[in-house]
Amino acid sequence: MSVFDFTSLSPDLILDGLESTGLIVDSGLLALNSYENRVYQFHDIDKTKYVTKFYRPQRWTEAQIREEHRFSFELADNELPLVAPMKINGESLFSYEGYHFAIFPCRGGRIFEVDNLDQLEWMGRFLGRIHAVAAKNNFTERPAFNSEEMLQQAQLVIEKSNFVSPSLTLPFFTILEQVIKLASQQYQPTSEIRLHGDCHAGNILWTDKGPHFVDLDDCRTGPAVQDIWMMLSGDRQQQLLQLDTILSGYDEFHSFETNQLPLIESLRTMRVVNYMAWLCKRWQDPAFPHNFPWFNTEKYWEQQILMLKEQMSALQQPPLSLLPY
């Protein structure tokens, strides 16, 4: 079985795996937008809709996936609106023909509006509640956000891929090394908790009753600000207003340590560098050239040079601070 693709994961295998849990599938499989894993919607004979996630082989260990599930159940037990995996006969993680998979109830909703201040304050309260629960225990299996994996190792992945155009190799790796050096120096967290880890708008679904989270696949240990900065957008003044709005709700349930604010740009650097490395690592998976046709072109690497220069400038700017009252 390949680390990089799901060649052997046929529709028949998926259906057989689902029915091995006792579910009776009465539909086809509707593929949802997921590239790291394979995610499908289906319904049973009662027309109840479900979502199944087949985990990418060898990305996470079984122990790490089970810890993700335990975190989901802990949050759900504390009445937090999070889509946790279903338990069937006491089990939430299943295995079939070498693939681990989970089944979730199907929950709808609209995309969270990152420029809606009312929704941002609501999200702040929601995150404060999540972090209040998350801070009570520690992960023992899941990794932490760290510069070694997400910057230095990511750089090696990009180098070994040989995807950067020869004419751009020198300027690209020169600015990449400078950005990584500065971000690594700045990333010095003083406190860490369990996190969602990938708290972008696509993982937050909004209903009239408020938000609910999906996808804890990237949950890790790290500074609380990691789950906050990804909801900030726009220019500096807009981000300051958004940050103030989020934290006004957050602090109702969990105290935010403002000394984490200088970590935002180093965390952002980890994300952008790791994203490039992720595309390099996964390019052998046929789903990636199909869905990311703009990657691995000269224009793409030219854009990354400009993006890294902008990120270097951001790392050199004073960090965001809370608005004075």
CB neighbour class for 29 (10 Å; exposed up to 12, middle 13-18, buried from 19) = middle
Residues 294/162, Cβ–Cβ less than 8 Å: no
User: SS in 3 state form for 13-33?
Assistant: HHHHHHHCCCCCECCCCEECC
Q: Please list the active-site residues.
A: 198, 215
Give the number of other CB atoms < 10 A from CB of residue 208.
6
Tell me what pLDDT residue 16 has: 97
Tell me what pLDDT residue 1 has: 42
If you write DSSP's letter for every residue of 150-195 in order, what string do you get?
IIIIHHHHHHHHT-S-GGGHHHHHHHHHHHHHHHHHH---S--EEE
Tell me what pLDDT residue 166 has: 94
Quick one: tokens of 107?
């929950």
CA distances from 191 to 16, 17, 58, 110 (A): 45, 41, 30, 33
Tell me what pLDDT residue 109 has: 83
Tell me what pLDDT residue 203 has: 86
If you write DSSP's letter for every residue of 250-275 in order, what string do you get?
HTTTS---GGGGGGHHHHHHHHHHHH
- Angle formed by the axes of helices 117-134 and 236-250, to 10°? 50
Please name which of 134, 154, 164 lies closest in space to residue 270, comparing C-alpha atoms.
154
Q: Which residues of 30-55 are buried (b: 16+ CB within 10 A; e: fewer)?
A: eeeebbbbbbbbbbeeeeeebbbbbb
User: Domain 117-316 adopts which CATH fold?
Assistant: Transferase(Phosphotransferase); domain 1 (1.10.510)
Tell me what pLDDT residue 4 has: 54
Tell me what pLDDT residue 170 has: 98
Q: How far apart are CA 127 and CA 321, in angstroms?
A: 19
Please name which of 297, 296, 279 lies closest in space to residue 288, comparing C-alpha atoms.
279
Please name which of 161, 1, 142 lies closest in space to residue 72, comparing C-alpha atoms.
142
Is-above-0.85 flag for pTM?
Answer: yes
CB neighbour class for 74 (10 Å; exposed up to 12, middle 13-18, buried from 19) = middle
Q: How far apart are CA 106 and CA 32, in angstroms?
A: 12
| Segments of the chain with pLDDT less than 50 | 1-2, 325
Max Cα separation, the chain? 61
DSSP 149: I
**Three-class secondary structure of residue 278 per DSSP:** helix
Tell me what pLDDT residue 156 has: 98
Q: How far apart are CA 229 and CA 233, in angstroms?
A: 9
Tell me what pLDDT residue 325 has: 47
User: Domain 11-107 adopts which CATH fold?
Assistant: Phosphorylase Kinase; domain 1 (3.30.200)
- Domain segments of the chain: what residues? 11-107, 117-316
Residues 79/153, Cβ–Cβ less than 8 Å: no
Element (H, E) at 301: helix 298-316
